[in-house]
Amino acid sequence: MSRIDSLQTFVSVVRSRNFTSAADSLGVTPSAVSKQISGLEERLGVRLLNRTTRSVSPTEAGQMFYQHCENILESITEAEKLVTDFDITPRGRLRITAMSNFGRRELARIFNDFSEKYPDISFELHISDRPLDIVKEGYDFALRIGTLEDSRLIAKPVAEQKIVVCASPEYLQQWGTPQAFEDINNHRILVVANAEYARINWLRQFEKDHGFTLQNIERKLSVNDIDLVYEACLKGMGITALPTYIAERHLENGELIQLFPNVEIPVRTIKVVFPQNRYVANKSRAFLDFITNYFDDNSSH
């Protein structure tokens, strides 16, 4: 029996906490499993498992050894995948989650263009503004805007989310067009709150950069849905800040008017987030390369 076989047996026993269950999964007898574990402990000179009549559990040394064994076996699996996947046309299904507004407005076009290039790849898309554990829930990628605090993940910046302050002509006709930043105090403001990817701290940035205080500002609408803020702005309810991928066509056709066009508002970064695995499947590599190049070619977002 090879060393790799004994490591696989040990990992199976720790996962199942039972010799019989481990034997069933490996297709051998419980006595063969017990013999392998005893031989492994004898070779290492340390007890790896605590045994009772009902179950087994790793000792402190066994738990440490188990973690290293998992990494070794995972590396072997990844090496095998790398060889068998080499020079094969990307195919399969990609599971992706994305923020609601960005997903609805951008991804149909992205997926269509991607599918023309890679017809053997299909998508399962989950739209949600709720933070998901993409490792636990088995997603290949997440498209996010905001901070990343999970060390198991890699975040690759792919685009900048540019912001414009705007209002409808109807609103400006009724309430006037602010000429200076201080004029914002006399206007109705629409604010996106409690949704990290959409929360734009443009008012706070104005205060910081231009040294005035927003005192009497009326937050006419504060809601955690950017689509509702966007619709309210179009209807003439107030002034807000919107990503260009939402506002651009309305600015072009005159349904919205950009305010303070010479003021630079800090952009936010759109990231593709994925598990920190050493091996990346062909289908995943194809999507990662495609979406990076896609935003390079469509840099107005």
What pLDDT, in 10s, does the model give residues 113-157? 999 999 989 999 998 877 788 888 888 999 988 776 777 888 888
Give the phi and the psi of residue 167 in degrees, each rounded to 5: -155, 165
Among 8, 58, 56, residue whose Cα is nearest residue 28: 8
Main-chain dihedrals φ then ψ at residue 191, nearest 5 degrees: -120, 135
Type of residue numbered 201: N
Q: What is the pLDDT at residue 243?
A: 86
What is the rounded distance in angstroms from the CA atom of residue 165 to the CA atom of residue 172? 13
Using a cut of 0.85, tell me whether the model's pTM lies above it. Answer: no
pLDDT given for residue 60 in this prediction: 92
Can you tell me whether residue 250 is helix, strand or coil?
helix
Which pLDDT belongs to residue 241?
87
Are 214 and 129 in contact by the 8 Å Cβ rule? The answer is no
How many whole angstroms separate alpha carbon 187 and alpha carbon 172?
10
Q: Which residues of the chain have pLDDT under 70?
A: 1, 82-87, 148, 194-216, 266, 277-279, 297-301
pLDDT of residue 199: 53
Domains (range + CATH), the chain: 3-84 (1.10.10.10), 92-157+272-297 (3.40.190.10), 163-259 (3.40.190.10)
Predicted confidence at residue 211, as pLDDT, reads: 59
Angle of the 244-252 helix axis to the 226-234 helix axis, nearest 10: 10
pLDDT number for residue 254: 95
Residue 66: the pLDDT is 92
